[in-house]
Amino acid sequence: MRLLGVLCAGILFPAAARAQAVVEQLAPVLAAEDAREWQPDLFQRSLLASDSVVRRITAIAAGRIGDPRATPLLLRALDEPDTTVRVAAAFALGLLRDSAAVQPLVQRLSGLPPLDAVTAAEAVTALAKIGGRRSADFFAAVLQGKVALSQADPAPATSQILLESWRLGADAPSDALLPFASDSVQSTRWRAVYSLGRLRAPAAANQLIAALRDKDPATREVAARALIKSYAEASKLDPGTIGGVLARAVDDDDPGVRINALRSLGTYRDSTFVPKVAWRVDDPVANVRVQAAATLGELGGSTAVAALQRALTGKGSFALRREALLGLARADTARFAGIASGWRNGKDWRDRATAAEGWALAGATGTPWFISDRDGRVVAAGLQAWATEVKGPDRRLVDSGRRLLTHQDAAVRSVAADILARAADPADLGALTAMYGRTTRDSFPDAAISALNAIVAIGRTGSAAQARIEREVLGAIPRPADYLLRRWAQANWPEAAARWGPTEPISTGRSLQDYRDLVRRFVVAPDSVARPHVFIETDQRGVLEVELFGPEAPLTVANFLRLVDRRFFDGNRWHRVVPNFVVQDGDPRGDGFGGPGGAIRDEINRMRYDIKPMLGMALSGPDTGSSQWFITLSPQPHLDGTYTVFGRAIGNVGALTRITQGDQIRTVRR
């Protein structure tokens, strides 16, 4: 037995040595990626490492850092002998969005030596992300059969062209997509209809109408979401006719189609469609009921009001009653006022916040009572809704914004400063500068960014205001420790950026040993360790099981698990639920502003927001992730490449569609 132990140790040693070598080589790469610091020697050396895992992760790290100096290295990596490295290099070129890569990618897709099928599909996505006329012309030529792809199996790349063409915007080859919307292959139809629907291409109107009758519910969902009133008008179609088509889709067997049809139908603001919608507030699916209430508020009319009142007096979910009250605010302000008085005096801050939002939707007449509410979340909700409904620098709104610049709640101050940015009055400079000074104690940067936005808006009013800002404000604002503020200045306030210095490298607060531990835990460990499972216990919805993607997003997963172990999510509510889109949590405030403080960098990876419910990081901009996360309820390819995917729901998935806004999470645990 001793001899066997020695032999086993000898056999295991090479694997252990290899794992340790990977740890040592990748730790500095992960550190550089996290700091967003391009280190040429490190990346050149790591892209030539003997281990393909090191080369693959280095390629993706180069893309995440975003320095175009990585482009030549990644283009060379397309000739890698290892398929996983080639695919990673193509993916990373899409992250870089460097137009210098367009022609080489086109040549590799249509010339020799040919790319393998998986790399070719990622190269297509890279071209779509980079965008521009050259990418669009190439896509059109391939779809029209004028250019042949050089892969032995060109189908994956062609399918990816169909799915990614929407990214090209006005340059997209809409006409070339049209024939594929009626293809005999279901996945091909869905991809073409998805792009045409995202583009809302006028020439695609007939195809989108036909897609509402497709046998595939996912295709019908996409078509229903695209057929909004402004699209009908742009396509020179009769809104009444298209609205009628949507009204029939409200009776679809699939709840996702019903939800999307209801959402689009609301944009028509035509009460003649109410009879098809009113009874859906009693739909067997909870979020169809919620969407029906929202749509009834948009459509208006006495029948809609009666249905909304019925929903309000029933025993439905908070989400349904909330949408019914807001719908009533839109459809009948007098009846809203009578019912809302009970909500504005409620013990639950969410009731008062809903009443405040309704006040804004009902015309914002009378006194904005919510401004003096004891809970900042109510004040912020009402003020934000008021600012959304009132166009331009309304005097009452601006006066309220000025009063609230000193509010103790950071969300209130953020919304108040946004309002003052619209007014752009130089008289507010002193108050905005003082408000910015108080943001150092905030747990999220929204108020600071709003104050800076308002200051810059004032500077744009004329040379005198700009001179005053340079003289009085710039010197009074020290270099912020938060890199998000310095990055904001780089994009919006060059004078401040010049004074504050570069954004990168970011000070991450982690040591090289920390990165070694992350690589050891999530990269070289077996999947049973690197892909841990967590369990989300919800009220009345059972337990959701989620698998985390440690190898693809180690920093994000580590951050999430740290919060899980702190019981940070326990007792939270699903504060944002968009029917047939996402459920979102991670905010202990419950209004979308909250978090523990600090931010993590994005880890955009090759995982897609596809058919499976995927777990992603919620953001307010690049690299702003913290504690808020979402799970998709339907395929959402437009989220790919913007929001870090770091897991997927794998157990009790059906419960996701039953979650409504305001439902409680008992605990999130390992």
Adjacent-strand bridge partners of 501: none
Q: Region 258-286: what's the mean pLDDT? A: 98
Comparing CA positions, the residue from 610, 580, 660, 662 lying closest to residue 264 is 580
Sign of CA pseudo-dihedral 27, 30, 35, 38: positive
* Rounded distance between C-alpha atoms, residue 129 and residue 96, angstroms: 9
Structure tokens at 248: 């029939």
Cβ atoms of residues 521 and 550 within 8 Å: yes
Here the tokens at position 233 are: 């008008």
Closest CA to 338 of 355, 354, 350: 355
**Interatomic CA distance for residues 593 and 628, integer angstroms:** 9
- Closest among 173, 192, 196, 172 to 183, alpha carbons compared: 192
* 561-602 tens-digit pLDDT: 999 999 999 999 999 999 999 999 999 999 999 999 999 999
Express each pLDDT in 153-192 by its tens digit: 999 999 999 999 999 999 999 999 999 999 999 999 999 9
Distance CA 269, CA 247 (A): 13
Cα 568 from Cα 96, distance rounded (Å): 34
State the pLDDT at residue 11. Answer: 53
Whole-number Å distance between alpha carbons of 575 and 554? 26
* Cα–Cα distance measured from residue 277 to residue 405, given in angstroms and rounded to the nearest whole number: 42
Amino acid at 552: E
The whole-angstrom separation of Cα 549 and Cα 606 is: 11
The neighbour count for residue 177, using CB atoms within 10 Å, is 27
User: Could you identify the residue written with the tokens 């009846």?
Assistant: 335
Burial of residue 474 (number of CB atoms within 10 Å: 0-12, 13-18, 19+): middle
- Pairing assessment for the beta strands 665-669 and 582-585 based on DSSP bridges: unpaired
pLDDT exceeds cutoff 70 at 1: no
**What would the two tokens of residue 413 be?**
């101050």
Query: Which 3 state secondary structure label does DSSP give 570?
Result: coil
Query: For 302-342, what is each residue's pLDDT tens digit?
Result: 999 999 999 999 889 999 999 999 999 999 999 999 999 99
CA–CA distance, 380 with 641 (Å, rounded to integer): 31
Predicted confidence (pLDDT) per residue in 127-145, tens digit = 999 999 999 999 999 999 9
The pLDDT assigned to 146 comes to 98
Evaluate if residue 646 carries a pLDDT over 50. yes
Residue 147, classed as helix, strand or coil, is coil
Judged against a pLDDT cut of 80, whether residue 503 lies above it is answered with yes
Mean pLDDT of 97-122: 98
Question: Which residues, including other chains, have CB under 8 Å from residue 520's CB and lie 6 or more apart?
Answer: 19, 23
Among 541, 634, 532, which Cα is nearest to 581's? 634
pLDDT at position 6 over 60: no
pLDDT at 392: 80
Look at the alpha carbons of 357, 305, 276, 237 in this order and tell me if their dihedral is positive or negative: negative
pLDDT, mean of residues 229-249: 97
Residue 266's nearest CA partner among 238, 304, 235, 234 is: 304
User: pLDDT tier at 3 (50, 70, 90 boundaries)?
Assistant: very low
CA–CA distance, 163 with 246 (Å, rounded to integer): 24
One-letter amino acid identity for 531?
A: R
Contact between 261 and 249 under an 8 Å Cβ cutoff? The reply is yes
Lowest mean pLDDT among 78-82, 389-393, 477-481, 484-488: 389-393
Judged against a pLDDT cut of 80, whether residue 346 lies above it is answered with yes
Residue range 419-432, pLDDT digits in tens: 999 999 999 999 99
For residues 448 and 439, give the distance between their C-alpha atoms in angstroms, rounded to a whole number: 6
Give the C-alpha separation, 249 to 265, whole Å.
Answer: 10
Buried b (16+ CB within 10 A) or exposed e, 610-628: eeebbbbbbbbeebbbbbb
Average pLDDT, rounded, for the chain? 96
CA-nearest of 519, 561, 548, 528 to 669 is 561
* Mean pLDDT value across residues 8-32: 86
Among 389, 331, 339, which residue's Cα sits nearest to residue 364? 389
pLDDT at 8 over 80: no
pLDDT band at 15, cuts 50/70/90? Answer: confident
Spatial strand order of the sheet with 665-669 comes to 576-578, 582-585, 629-632, 614-617, 645-651, 542-548, 533-538, 665-669
Amino acid (one-letter) located at 555: L
Report which of 397, 370, 364, 383 is spatially closest to residue 447, judged by C-alpha positions.
383
Residue 2 has pLDDT above 80, yes or no: no
pLDDT at 391: 86
| Cis peptide, bond prior to residue 505, ω within 30 of zero | yes
CA angle at 575 for the pair 277 and 369, rounded to the nearest 5°: 85
pLDDT category at 123 given cuts 50, 70, 90 is very high
**Can you give the pTM of this predicted structure?**
0.96
The alpha-helical segments, DSSP class H, found in 200-332 are: 205-211, 217-226, 229-234, 239-249, 255-266, 274-278, 286-299, 302-313, 318-331
Residue holding tokens 């000193």? Answer: 406
